[in-house]
Structure 1
């Protein structure tokens, strides 16, 4: 019954998407969420920050559900994305380490969470008893009313003695499947630099929303074609594709993510993308085999990992590899002409090297406001 109270609150507050990495203390809640909302499974809590940010940028109402320990690997994204841009993010966190905790590893971090949130000036609410369930409503409303992060820490005591009425599956679906894969590619000597590839995009963008990876890529996109539809990342390393994924889920227009090999190697979002397979998402992986914005240190993509093969292994159906502007143009032409529909992963092999593009002269709030304005007006 206590799970049903929470689900009713979410319905009353018009929550549309629940982005979730579950905790065993909230397994019944998660089952109810999955049956009643657009439920997006993620594999790392930090990616949920990005997905929810993208949904908010599309004008939707998401909620993030996680175990409280996931806050530890999410704080950089929380502060340099959600907080910096002033985006709403209600978080329901199953608070471990504080009530009848039997796992010693849950205690050192989780027991200090209120102090951590206070240090970062993040609002939070503690809910311990079913009689306090209305505090959940108040916390979610604070997040949306003030465009801020608000964490609702629910202790295991809240769920004690509860028998939910929500739909809980009694068995797993059939898992048997046949996998047949033939993959042969050649990675040729690159001829484009990142700035060349970004300039090549300009004729195809029109009013397409674009989420651009942190650092020099944003500078090069700003110089090539600044538009309100460009979301320039100022922080939150690895979150370009999660943000773009959220924007794609939240509206119907094609969305392009300009991402890089270093960023994509650091995220666990590609299987989640493949599971949802939004028809309107294009991921352009600009692979220079280096951490381009931090001094050109070589990444594992240089001569070990193949990003296209990684995307295929994650379950993405449409993948291509390009080396030249002409090859990139040909792929984008096919997309424009109705081919290659569905989530599309373009692996572009490029040269290391940065241009001398200046910093993006926009604040986080300016970037958000103009992007949100044009995207929601055309949703």
Structure 2
């Protein structure tokens, strides 16, 4: 394993001094280290945005790189093929290897991309190297020498990173007592939702919902970060007579913020969008989001939501949620929450397979529609 500081220093020594990316636990150390120096790391909303940002820096004469998870490689393909490869902009990509080499040792959402990452790069004709967990600084230096040759040739090289290859950094703790406990907020939403379907975003939010009240009408979205609200939009529009709740996170909502505009344009009166905003990408190591500068409740109003409220107490959340149930939406409730502490509930896949979650959720929707 290479220390996070040494990993960044090795890149810095070769002129790679601009980075962007999307949080991944494999790169939690380098992201935390770079984030201490303003201008060194740009937290992107999604993988394509990270690559485009790095491409802009490269066009301006900087050596740039991105860090991301291979599950998000699909989001990278369009700007990779139509921008970076077409214009031959030399950007270095570090991609973590989830679901590799044995997909059974990781979560189900990593199986497909885990087994296809290498072949995908080979299909695109992209040069790549493997950074293994037992690689030392000399091994990293050898990889970077090859990377530099690819960059000099105008190519877009990739380094595939095995789990445990790069160390972690201590992240600064935050103490914000005015924020709510996320479990209390999830408990309240579950109570008030009744038998309404709830679509929960990936990461700790879905795990928390699973731990609070597992039921067939819950859809635990694993992977596909940022798309819970879009799923809920589809459910809501398929049956306008049924209330639909989405439990979202600030990082996920920011990743595909255009969905707020799509929801507002379609104006489903039965959609209640709850965003738990703790200001960090918690399940990947606590990297900061941009929710401190982008107030999602105000974005929702500007997009065209009927109402949006910032709920700082459980009483406020109860009042606003109940009001949303009684009036046409879409409505957004933003609940500032504290970073989670203590043990987390297991993932829903510890009990239910993805297919089982799909089938029971679909059956719950059908049953609710029949009763209506």
TM-score, normalised by the number of residues in structure 2: 0.51
Alignment of 1:358-377 (within 5 A): 358-360=346-348, 361-377=351-367
Task: Find the counterpart in structure 1 of residue 250 from structure 2.
Answer: 261
- Whether contact under 8 Å (1:211, 1:231) holds in the other structure is yes
Task: Say which SS state the counterpart of residue 223 (structure 2) adopts.
Answer: coil
Task: Report Cα offsets for 1:201-241 as digits up to 9, x if no partner.
Answer: 23212210000010111111011111100000111111111
Shift of 1:359: 2.3
Q: Structure 2: how far apart are the matches of 1:293 and 1:373?
A: 30
Task: Say which SS state the counterpart of residue 310 (structure 1) adopts.
Answer: helix
Q: Structure 2: how far apart are the matches of 1:78 and 1:232?
A: 22
2:178 is aligned with 1:190: yes
Shift of 1:107: 12
Moved more, 189-198 or 241-250: 189-198
Q: Structure 2: how far apart are the matches of 1:79 and 1:229?
A: 29
Q: Structure 2: how far apart are the matches of 1:327 and 1:227?
A: 26
Task: Find the counterpart in structure 1 of residue 290 from structure 2.
Answer: 300
Q: Structure 2: how far apart are the matches of 1:105 and 1:235?
A: 25
Task: Say which SS state the counterpart of residue 323 (structure 1) adopts.
Answer: coil
- Number of aligned pairs? 213
Q: Structure 1: how far apart are the matches of 2:242 and 2:262?
A: 20
Shift of 1:356: 2.3
- Whether contact under 8 Å (1:290, 1:297) holds in the other structure is yes
Task: Find the counterpart in structure 2 of residue 243 from structure 1.
Answer: 231
Q: Structure 2: how far apart are the matches of 1:258 and 1:246?
A: 15
- Whether contact under 8 Å (2:200, 2:218) holds in the other structure is yes
Which protein has greater RCO, CA pairs closer than 8 Å, 6+ apart? 1
- Whether contact under 8 Å (1:322, 1:348) holds in the other structure is yes
Task: Find the counterpart in structure 1 of residue 324 from structure 2.
Answer: 335
- Whether contact under 8 Å (1:287, 1:349) holds in the other structure is yes
- Whether contact under 8 Å (1:318, 1:343) holds in the other structure is yes
Q: Structure 2: how far apart are the matches of 1:195 and 1:297?
A: 20
Shift of 1:352: 1.6
- Whether contact under 8 Å (1:296, 1:353) holds in the other structure is no
2:278 is aligned with 1:288: yes
Task: Find the counterpart in structure 2 of residue 5 from structure 1.
Answer: none
Alignment of 1:9-24 (within 5 A): none
Task: Find the counterpart in structure 2 of residue 348 from structure 1.
Answer: 335
Alignment of 1:203-282 (within 5 A): 203-251=191-239, 252-267=241-256, 268-282=258-272
Q: Structure 2: how far apart are the matches of 1:289 and 1:210?
A: 22
The RMSD of aligned alpha carbons is 3.5
Task: Report Cα offsets for 1:300-331 as digits up to 9, x if no partner.
Answer: 11x31111111122221211110111111111
Q: Structure 1: how far apart are the matches of 2:116 and 2:191?
A: 46
Task: Say which SS state the counterpart of residue 345 (structure 2) adopts.
Answer: coil
Task: Say which SS state the counterpart of residue 236 (structure 1) adopts.
Answer: coil
Task: Report Cα offsets for 1:236-255 as digits up to 9, x if no partner.
Answer: 11111111111111113110
Alignment of 1:1-379 (within 5 A): 105=82, 190-251=178-239, 252-267=241-256, 268-301=258-291, 303-336=292-325, 338=326, 340-354=327-341, 355-360=343-348, 361-379=351-369
Task: Report Cα offsets for 1:328-378 as digits up to 9, x if no partner.
Answer: 111122234x2x421001111111225522222211001100000110233
In the alignment, structure 2 segments of 5+ residues that lack a partner are 1-45, 49-69, 87-112, 118-175
